[in-house]
Amino acid sequence: MFIGGIRALLLQSLHPLAMAAVAQHSDYRGDPWGRLQRTSYFLAVTTFGQAEDAREAIARVKAVHQHVTGIAPDGRPYAASDPHLLTWVHIAEADSFLRAHTRFGGQPLDQAGRDGYIADMARIGIELGVPDPPRTEAELADRIGQYRAELAATADARAAARFLLISPPLPAIARAPYGVLAAAAVSLLPDWARRPLRLPRLPVTEAVVVRPAGRAMVHAIRWATSAPPATPAA
């Protein structure tokens, strides 16, 4: 989820209207960890929580979206509740988490499992206002392709990428581990997403260094956050 989340933010930033909404209404620079905490809670409760709790979290997000409107730097109006923008954010997130799990997860899914994950994500998307979200991996890839012509890296998108990848507000001890996660996230981006964000492609380095380091880091995080086994009764 760490790697997938970073990739999702980078990919989502490529839609100029979605990025304008983030740049003009989000406090990701002033309070990045507060935003991360709220996003993490939403992901956790909609994935693992009770249905009632998930619906309450979704209702809060939808209420916030109603107030996120404005004019992008290119003069176009935007609204966070726009179903077209909601769809882009949804499919970028679903694709990113699925690719991160496929590459770095402990138990990669087979095709039925991947399609099942997209179908589960569609249930959340529908509740958020996404019309007819994709329900299979093939449908997801096709929907992302339909957005390609709209995507471009604005100055705000490149600034967000620099913030995420180069200058996040982290203590020195956390920079190296975070750098591994960030590099792993970039390694999952397709070339068409890297080029406008000016992110280099280094195939040999990614294959020999980034991917093994990413797997090791994910394994370490998984070990650190796993509950200890229950002590057998005497």
Q: Following DSSP, what letter does each residue of 151-210 receive, concatenated?
A: ----HHHHHHHHHHHT--S--HHHHHHHHHHHHHHHHTS-HHHHHHHT----HHHIIIII
Report percent pLDDT > 90 for the chain: 65
Indicate yes or no: pTM above 0.85.
yes
The mean pLDDT of 65-83, rounded to a whole number, is 96
CA–CA separation, 224 and 75 (whole Å): 47
Paired residues of 77 in beta bridges: 71
R_g of the chain computed on alpha carbons = 18
pLDDT at 232: 53
pLDDT at 207: 78
Residues, the chain: 234
pLDDT at 234: 47
**pLDDT for residue 182 is more than 80:** yes
Both tokens assigned to 128: 């958020």
Q: Give the residue with greater pLDDT, 19 vs 208.
A: 19
Residue 172's pLDDT band, with cuts at 50, 70 and 90, is confident
- Yes or no: say if 35 and 26 are a contact pair by the CB < 8 Å rule: yes
pLDDT at 26: 82
Residue 233's pLDDT band, with cuts at 50, 70 and 90, is low
Residue 216's pLDDT band, with cuts at 50, 70 and 90, is confident
Q: Encode pLDDT of 131-167 as tens digits.
A: 999 999 999 999 999 999 999 999 999 999 999 898 8
Q: Encode pLDDT of 94-137 as tens digits.
A: 999 999 999 998 888 999 999 999 999 999 999 999 999 999 99
